[in-house]
């Protein structure tokens, strides 16, 4: 797969999605506002969100993404791309110092699958299995497989943190003292 050559959605089209995967379209966006329709009773209406394109030196409204989410069933989403997609060029994540590989968001469904898999297996094996099992077009490869083993390790960390009984350090020390009774004599 050549770096930076991805098959992205074309501008001036509508796309219909039944999952949250519309958020990972290989472009970089900033939320530019949300409106609810109808304004008086939005429970039965739509949520319109406008996104503007992030470019290397800021943001531009020459290329926009508009999502229309059905509020009663948020996984039913229509996405419209408006403008010129040529203003969007891939660039590294803002926190990267040495890597010049463009940052591409991974699909939420892929991350959900990885989080379920790391409960049963170690992150390096989950990553290898995910990459080997992905029989997808090379253009979609960046969004439908985990980015690297570090992303899978981060997913495992999130799962472990969610399982913890508490994040209170004193309570955790008390639990350790029960497990290590001959070692700890007194906890105050």
Sign of CA dihedral 168, 172, 173, 177: positive
The tally of CA atoms less than 13 A away on the side-chain side of residue 132 is 6
> pTM of the entire structure?
0.68
Structure tokens at 185: 């004599």
The CB density around residue 116, as the number of other CB atoms within 10 Å, is 12
Domain boundaries, the chain: 13-87, 108-170
Sign, Cα dihedral of 148, 150, 153, 158: negative
Looking at residue 147, what is its pLDDT? 84
Quote the pLDDT of residue 39. 79
Mean pLDDT score of the chain, rounded to an integer? 81
The predicted-structure confidence for 123-161, as pLDDT tens digits, reads as follows 999 998 888 877 765 556 678 888 889 999 999 999 988
From 59, 69, 64, 49, select the one nearest 12 (Cα to Cα): 64
Higher pLDDT: 134 or 25? It is 25
Give the per-residue pLDDT at 96.
67
Would the pLDDT of 69 be above 50?
yes
Give me the CATH topology for the region 13-87.
N-terminal domain of TfIIb (2.20.25)
Say how far apart CA 7 and CA 81 lie, in whole Å: 14
């Amino acid at each position: 797969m050549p770096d930076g050559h991805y098959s992205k959605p074309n501008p001036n089209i509508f796309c219909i999605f039944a999952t949250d995967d519309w958020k990972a379209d290989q472009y970089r966006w900033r939320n530019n506002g949300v409106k609810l329709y109808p304004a008086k009773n939005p429970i039965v209406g739509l949520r319109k969100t406008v996104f503007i394109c992030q470019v290397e030196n800021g943001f531009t409204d020459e290329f926009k993404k508009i999502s229309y989410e059905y509020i009663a069933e948020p996984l039913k989403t229509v996405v419209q791309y408006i403008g010129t997609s040529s203003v969007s060029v891939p660039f590294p994540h803002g926190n990267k110092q040495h890597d010049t590989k463009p940052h591409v968001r991974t699909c939420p469904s892929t991350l959900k699958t990885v989080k379920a898999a790391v409960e049963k297996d170690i992150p390096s094996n989950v990553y290898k299995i995910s990459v080997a099992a992905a029989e997808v077009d090379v253009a979609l490869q960046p969004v439908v497989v985990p980015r690297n083993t570090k992303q899978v390790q981060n997913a495992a960390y999130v799962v472990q943190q969610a399982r913890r009984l508490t994040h209170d350090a004193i309570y955790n020390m008390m639990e350790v003292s029960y497990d290590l009774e001959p070692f700890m004599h007194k906890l105050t």
